[in-house]
Structure 1
Amino acid sequence: MIHQIGQIMLYVNDQEAAARFWTEKIGFVLVKDEENHGMRIIEIAPAKDVQTSFVLHNKAMIAQMQPELNLGTPSIMFYATDVEALYEEFKAKGITVGDLITIPAGKLFNFADDENNYFALIEKRYKLPLDD
């Protein structure tokens, strides 16, 4: 039985630039940066203590090793509180953002990394255990 998502593989053209984008602009932390069998593996996450992380892989190297692999960027939705503040922060940092919109589920916007891969971010209203 699957009980959690462990890592999401992101295939990028420039691992160093991608790591800087996610850590310096988005605020993720570096979990690991190591060489493994000739491949550099950079693992990042929103915080050190979260269970799901991104692993930034060199797209060209992976394509050479496994040409049949789909190297496209997955469609990823992030949850956050205070989406309006994040929207303004991202704009101030020069991150490409879409319009901030409101839908019944909450406020949301999309943003692009430096390789023009788009991600979405939506307001997540957390329920307390006694809210049921």
Structure 2
Amino acid sequence: MKIKLLTIYVNDQEKALHFYTEVLGFVKKADYSNGPYRWLTVASAEEPEGTELQLALINNPAAATFQQALFQQNQPAVMFFSDNLQADFERMKAAGAEFTMAPTDVQYAWNATVNDTCGNLIQLTQLKRWQG
């Protein structure tokens, strides 16, 4: 069994596509429309055939309530891993990313938090065990 797809709800798919590709550096995998419905996914540029992230339009009231509660509590909706968090932080900041937490040493890792501009906070992590 494999994990091939995860979903994150966004309030604007076009804005999300820009953030996840132009700021985070992911690649667009799928973009199909059927009437008002749009199936939109991205994947890591480092693993383009790996797990996809669906950028789903948040048209479900329960999902919207959950998304807003997480954001208000400063809780990330998802976590992505970096091999060099400081370099990714600097690259993303230069691309216009709004960080709510700069890279911070949290004992076992370095964490940063960025606003995806579509209703979510994203945690970026570099685990110290990955250090050589």
Q: TM-score, normalised by structure 1?
A: 0.77
* Correspondence 1:109 to 2:102: no
2:80 partner SS: strand
Residues of 1 paired with 2:21 and 2:79: CA distance? 18
Name which of 25, 28, 31 aligns with 2:26: 28
Task: Map Cα deviations across residues 33-73 of structure 1 (whole Å, 9 max, x no partner).
Answer: 012475111111113221x211112223xx2xxx5x43434
Segments of structure 1 that go 5 or more residues without pairing to the other structure are none
2:54 partner SS: strand
Residues of 2 paired with 1:86 and 1:4: CA distance? 28
Over the aligned positions, Cα root-mean-square deviation in angstroms equals 2.3
Which residue is equivalent to 2:52? 53
- Residues 49, 126 of structure 1: CA spacing in aligned structure 2 closer, same or farther, 3 A cutoff? farther
Segments of structure 2 that go 5 or more residues without pairing to the other structure are 68-75
Moved over 6 A (4+): none
Could you say which structure has the larger radius of gyration?
Answer: 1
Residues of 1 paired with 2:41 and 2:52: CA distance? 7
Q: TM-score, normalised by structure 2?
A: 0.77
Shift of 1:126: 3.9
